Structure 1
Amino acid sequence: MPKKEDLARLTPAESKPDPHSASMAIVRDVIRGLYEGRYVPGQRLVEPDLVKHYGVGRSTVREALKQLTADGIVVSYAFRGARIRELTRREASNLFAITEVMLGLVARQAAANMDSKEKKERLETHFQAIANHSEGDGHFAFLQHRNRYFRALVDIGENEEILRILPRLQVHLIRNRSILAPAERVRGYRGITRAVLRGDAEKAEKITRHYIARIASSTLPFFPE
């Protein structure tokens, strides 16, 4: 559920609510809820329940569901409402395959463009945030560190098109089921970081793709055939 101050900021007392902003707050919260387990694949999203839960109007909820459907997170059925999309094993495998290739490219381009102390320090800072993450801080906090790490790689590699494509892959529908141990996660990111910092583009891509494939192999058995 969004923080009260977030909704208050969207609906100031002396102005009319902005339905689009409020609807996007719901979209962001549903995505976060997938990582935190508050929302799960296959779960029904009932309009009256969402209206009550988020304290907004029906039109705002419908706008949020429309956006979630367009993004592939929710599946809507005529006269039957909406549900969080539940991937089959094949669909999840396809998403992992695309993600593996794209993140491999991200690492390759970052390594090829690793030409300054500032870039190295930025990447090292984001890796350390991952390495120092405590499980007690929560899974969502780790995902924020991970997203900032890959955003840094994208920025260093100077491929803005990746930023337009990656959010559409809906990796939160697959990665929240990953069961890699924290130590193994850190080893994976350490290997990627070292290769990128050395400017070894080929190895950076290889290690990144291997890491994503490892996540896939540990995750896919949990998806239905």
Structure 2
Amino acid sequence: MPVQNNAPAVQQVCHAITRAIRDGRLAPGQRLTEAEFTQKLSVSRPTVREAFRQLCSDGLLLSEPHRGVSVRQLTRRELDDLFVIRATLEALAVRLAAPALQSAPAELIRIQDALDQAQRTADLTEMSRHNLAFHQLFAETSGNTLLQSLLHRLTNSVYWLQFRVLVADDKVLHSNSQHQEITAAILAGNAKTAADIMAAHIDQTRLLVQSLDDFYFAPPL
């Protein structure tokens, strides 16, 4: 029997679609249907419809009259605008989270160790996974739920493009040096330095994403 339309079921569908986009199984511009996910995830149509609505609100999906729902495709300008905001918010998250992470650094050190191991073994999949955890840690530790929500929505918007960078460009492995610098600054109590490095780190990601072929972007508005 299909799961009834409730918050946990809706979130399961949201997570499944988000993972599929992050892993490259759903591409920008690809059309999604309620019937497909109703059957695939054994949930009701109202559940899938609500998940689509939430992901459209987050900016991950796009709903258009007479065309249905598809994976949102950003223009290059939209991507730049998004990364400018994201860099500012991620730097703020670092500043807010720094005191707590300095006094209780175990999780930060664990994630950094995992990133270092992924770099040593050139494991891009593991780098992607631990990179996401690294950035989420600052938002989650910031103590600011609105900031955490905003960063979640911004990150969702570029999941698929970031995945394309991770599988196609070994330069991402070398970006771990900035993770290491952020971690060292946090442990040394230099919150401002850590925040500045995070802003530069996000901008470096922006440049890597912008280096992708025009195929991955929507035409200019």
State the TM-score, normalized to the length of structure 2. 0.81
User: Root-mean-square deviation (CA), in Å?
Assistant: 2.5
Give the superposition deviation at 1:86: 0.4
User: Bigger shift: 164-173 or 41-50?
Assistant: 164-173
Choose 105-114 or 201-210, whichever is displaced more. Answer: 105-114
Secondary structure, in 3 states, of the residue corresponding to 2:211? helix
* Residue type at the aligned position of 2:187: L
Q: 1:78 to 1:155 in 2, by over 3 A?
A: closer
Give the match for residue 180 of structure 2. 190
**Residue in 1 that maps onto 2:4:** 18
Give the one of 157, 161, 168 matched to 2:146: 161
Q: Does 1:132 align with 2:117?
A: yes
Contact 1:112 1:157 in 2 (8 A): no
What is the CA–CA distance in structure 2 between the aligned matches of 1:52 and 1:123, rounded to whole Å? Answer: 39
Instruction: State the Cα deviation string for residues 165-223 of structure 1 (Å, max 9, x = none).
Output: 21121342542233353431221211111111111122112111111111111112333
Higher-Rg member (1/2): 1
Q: Read off the aligned partner of 2:183 and give its amino acid letter.
A: T
**Alignment partner of 1:175 is 2:175:** no
Structure 1 counterpart of 2:76, which letter? R
One-letter amino acid of the structure 2 residue matched with residue 124 of structure 1: I
Give the conservation status (yes or no) of the 8 Å contact 1:111–1:201.
yes
Question: Offset at 1:95?
Answer: 1.0
How far the C-alpha of 1:71 sits from its partner, in A, is: 1.8
State the partner residue of 2:201. Answer: 211
Distance 2:47 2:53 in 1: 10
Give the number of aligned pairs.
207
Residue identity matched to 1:125:
R
Does structure 1 retain, via aligned residues, the 8 Å contact 2:3–2:43?
Answer: no
Between 1:77-86 and 1:19-28, the stretch displaced more is 19-28
Is the CA contact 2:63–2:70 (under 8 Å) kept in the aligned structure 1?
A: yes
CA distance in 1, matches of 2:186, 2:18: 30
- Give the 3-state SS of the residue equivalent to 1:39 in structure 2: coil
The 3-state SS of whatever aligns with 2:195 is: helix
156 and 55 in structure 1: CA distance in 2 versus 1, 3 angstrom threshold: closer
TM-score, with structure 1 as normaliser:
0.79
The residue that corresponds to 1:102 in the other structure is 89
Residues of 1 paired with 2:85 and 2:77: CA distance? 12
Give the match for residue 60 of structure 1: 47
CA contact (8 A) 1:92 1:174 kept: no
From the superposition, tell whether residues 126 and 40 of structure 1 become closer, same or farther in structure 2 (CA, over 3 Å): same
Counterpart check, 1:199 vs 2:174? no
Cα distance, 1:19 vs structure 2: 2.1
Code of the aligned partner of 1:145: H
**Distance in 2, Cα, partners of 1:66 & 1:114:** 35
Give the secondary-structure state (helix, strand or coil) at the position aligned to 1:183.
helix
Return the offset for 1:156: 4.7
Greater mean alpha carbon deviation, residues 210-219 or residues 179-188? 179-188
CA distance, structure 2, for counterparts of residue 135 and residue 29 of structure 1: 27
Code of the aligned partner of 1:121: A
Q: Which runs of 5+ in 2 are unaligned?
A: none
**Are 1:152 and 2:142 matched, yes or no?**
no
- In 2, the alpha carbon distance for the partners of 1:163 and 1:23 equals 20
Name the CA distance, whole Å, in 2 between partners of 1:177 and 1:154: 24
Contact 2:109 2:183 survives alignment (8 Å): yes
